[in-house]
Amino acid sequence: MDILETIVAAKRKEVATFKPRSSIERFERDGFFWQIANRSLVQSLLLPGSTGIIAEFKRKSPSKGWFKTKELEVEPVVVSYNKHAAGISVLTDDEFFGGDLDDLIQTKVVSDIPVLRKDFIIDKWQIAEAKAFGADIVLLIAACLSPGEVKEFAAYAKSIGLESILEVHNEEELGHCCDEVSMVGVNNRNLKTFEVDINTSLQLIDKIPAGKPAIAESGISSIDTIVTLRNAGFKGFLIGENFMKEEHPGKAFENFVTELK
């Protein structure tokens, strides 16, 4: 199996283990954040003067290993992110990315901008879980979902007040796009090989449906790249590794934004 298939297989086992312990109805009834108004990433990206940056908190990746240990506290990093980012992405997968749902909760509590749950969604139950734990947006990866599942999951997310990002890696996956999806993200990282090519975004931007703000993901480490992507039509730029690999991720983010301005 390639890396994505390995991750999805593990995620199916994980969901099968935890799903019986807490129903969607229980999330709706007991989830603290279920009653909290959701924050809109679409509005944040389109706001005049927005940096467009979705700053990501992740401790490790399957291709690069650990950036930061489990001991790294979320709050100091995301408080810095909160100052200038359009949104914050939080990796909640434990096995492959070193994250968990507590990271999501802590981010929501100390920030006032939209929070994305970055994970491998393969069941509607995870979307209810995401809302209960503080997410404003969920990621739907075309490479591990059918067009029908994308439509169903995006519609459910919308019905409970969440936005959704459809993540694609090629033109064929754009066929998963539907009215229910809020935004389209182009991941420059091939999730099967983990190779990165920024041209993936540039080749797909003109094929993204009008009315769906476009987000470029992965491989963004310079101001020039953001300028190029922005000029091409992208509204959002998801950046994580570039900050998390530094000794002080929050400070690295603030320096990056200063240079961008």
Percentage of residues in the chain having pLDDT higher than 70: 100
Cβ contact 134:114 at 8 Å: no
56 is catalytic: yes
Q: What is the pLDDT of residues 164-194, one digit of tens each?
A: 999 999 999 999 999 999 999 999 987 777 7
Among 157, 183, 194, 161, which Cα is nearest to 238's? 183
Report CA torsion sign: 146, 38, 130, 238: positive
Number of domains observed in the structure of the chain: 1
Which structural domain range is residue 124 located in? 3-260
- Rounded to two decimals, the pTM is 0.95
Catalytic residue among 58, 60, 131, 235: 58
Give me the mean pLDDT over the 115-133 stretch: 97
pLDDT value of residue 167: 98
pLDDT value of residue 1: 61
Which residue type does 235 have?
A: K
235 is catalytic: no
pLDDT value of residue 3: 87
Higher pLDDT, 189 or 214: 214
254 is catalytic: no
The CATH number of the domain holding residue 179 is 3.20.20.70
